[in-house]
């Protein structure tokens, strides 16, 4: 059995780290603004993320009372789609590494 | 006074000719503010490089979709047709009224919760604040009608 080539091992390690980084979940964070209606926020959370009314209302109140809430934790590409959908509905949303 | 209600799979807006004209005037006056609004164009990333990439790949599509939503609202208000909206159309109206509210509120200098107390009762009854309340009412009614599906 031959010893593994050092360069191959290094490259494989780098590729695995890149895969891990890509697969690392990101948080979808919604921020409070003083104008958007609470009923609308609950409605959008339910529609975009499929939450039941209780969960959507809890998250909306967290945004309102604490200034922000993590509404989803997803792989980066999916999280970016979620943020774009929230932006399309006029909500203040950002992505943050988990 | 306008009425918004569920009609089977559709949402019906019963608005008089005068109310249509008033809503069109509001749209005409607020659309330019939408273009300038910071709230309507929030950042997605703290990181500048990622944000530039997001702007390059996503923001143009969002702006185009927003313009299409507003155009749809305008076209229906300008027509003499009865306004019956599918769920997708009602969503376009909801999104439009939300961006109009954001843009107007930003122009009014609203920055934090409790802003209602910044203004006197008289100010609440007169434009532009009364316009903000009217847009809120339409939005609330649309949400209620959509939730009845």
- What is the tens place of the pLDDT at every residue in B25-81? 999 999 999 988 888 889 999 999 999 999 999 999 999 999 999 999 999 999 978
Q: What pLDDT does residue A8 have?
A: 62
A5 touches chain B (CB under 8 A): no
B43 touches chain A (CB under 8 A): yes
Q: Do A80 and B54 touch (CB under 8 A)?
A: yes
Model confidence band, residue A92 (pLDDT cutoffs 50, 70, 90): very high
Q: Encoding tokens for residue A45?
A: 């959370």
Measured distance CA(A77)–CA(A94) in Å, rounded: 13
Measured distance CA(A65)–CA(A20) in Å, rounded: 34
**Chain B residues lying within 8 Å of A85, measured CB to CB:** none
Provide DSSP, A60-87. Answer: HHHHHHHSEEEEEEE-HHHHHHHHHHHH
A80 touches chain B (CB under 8 A): yes
Q: What pLDDT does residue B114 have?
A: 82
* Beta-ladder partners of B63: none
Q: What pLDDT does residue A3 have?
A: 55
* Beta-ladder partners of B4: B13
Measured distance CA(B61)–CA(B75) in Å, rounded: 21
What's the mean per-residue pLDDT of chain B?
A: 92
Q: Are A84 and A94 in contact (CB under 8 A)?
A: no
The CA distance from B98 to the nearest CA of chain A, in Å, is: 6
The number of beta carbons lying within 10 Å of the beta carbon of residue A22 is 10
Q: Which domains does chain A have, with CATH numbers?
A: 24-97 (3.30.1390.10)
Domain assignments of chain B as residue spans, ordered by start: 3-147
Residue A1 has pLDDT above 60, yes or no: no
Percent of chain A with pLDDT over 90: 74
Buried b (16+ CB within 10 A) or exposed e, B84-122: ebeeebbbbbbbbbbbbbbbbbbebebeeeebeeeeeee
A68 touches chain B (CB under 8 A): no
**Chain A residues lying within 8 Å of B146, measured CB to CB:** 43
Q: Do A32 and B113 touch (CB under 8 A)?
A: yes
Peptide bond into B49 cis (omega under 30): no
Model confidence band, residue B116 (pLDDT cutoffs 50, 70, 90): confident
The CA distance from B24 to the nearest CA of chain A, in Å, is: 21
Measured distance CA(B72)–CA(B75) in Å, rounded: 5
- What is the tens place of the pLDDT at every residue in A70-79? 999 999 999 9
- Of the residues B55, B58, B68, the best mutation for testing chain A's interface (the one with the most A CB atoms within 10 Å of its CB) is B58
Q: Do A92 and B39 touch (CB under 8 A)?
A: yes
- What is the tens place of the pLDDT at every residue in A13-57? 677 666 666 668 999 999 999 999 999 999 999 999 999 999 999
Residue B6 has pLDDT above 60, yes or no: yes
Residue B126 has pLDDT above 70, yes or no: yes
**Chain A residues lying within 8 Å of B45, measured CB to CB:** 94-95
Measured distance CA(B71)–CA(B93) in Å, rounded: 10
């Amino acid at each position: 059995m031959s010893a593994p080539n050092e360069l191959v091992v290094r490259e494989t390690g780098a590729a695995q780290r890149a895969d891990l980084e890509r697969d690392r979940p990101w948080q979808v964070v919604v921020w409070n603004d003083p104008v958007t209606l609470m009923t609308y926020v609950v409605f959008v959370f339910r529609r975009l993320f499929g939450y039941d009314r209780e969960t959507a209302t809890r998250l909306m109140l967290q945004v309102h009372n604490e200034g922000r809430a993590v509404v989803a934790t997803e792989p980066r590409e999916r999280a970016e789609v979620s943020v774009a959908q929230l932006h399309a509905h006029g909500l203040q949303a950002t992505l943050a590494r988990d | 006074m306008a009425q918004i209600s569920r009609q089977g799979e559709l949402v019906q807006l019963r608005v008089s000719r005068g109310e249509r004209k008033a809503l069109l005037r509001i749209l005409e006056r607020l659309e330019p503010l939408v273009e300038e609004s910071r709230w309507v164009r929030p950042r997605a990333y703290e990181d500048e490089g990622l944000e530039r990439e997001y702007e390059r790949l996503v923001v143009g599509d969002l702006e185009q979709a927003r313009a299409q939503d507003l155009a749809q609202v305008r076209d229906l208000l300008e027509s003499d047709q009865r306004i019956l909206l599918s769920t997708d159309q009602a969503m376009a109206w909801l999104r439009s009224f939300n961006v109009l509210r954001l843009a107007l509120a930003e122009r009014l200098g609203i920055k934090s919760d409790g802003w209602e107390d910044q203004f006197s009762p008289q100010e609440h009854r007169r434009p532009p604040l009364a316009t903000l309340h009217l847009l809120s009412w339409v939005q609330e009614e649309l949400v209620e009608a959509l939730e009845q599906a």
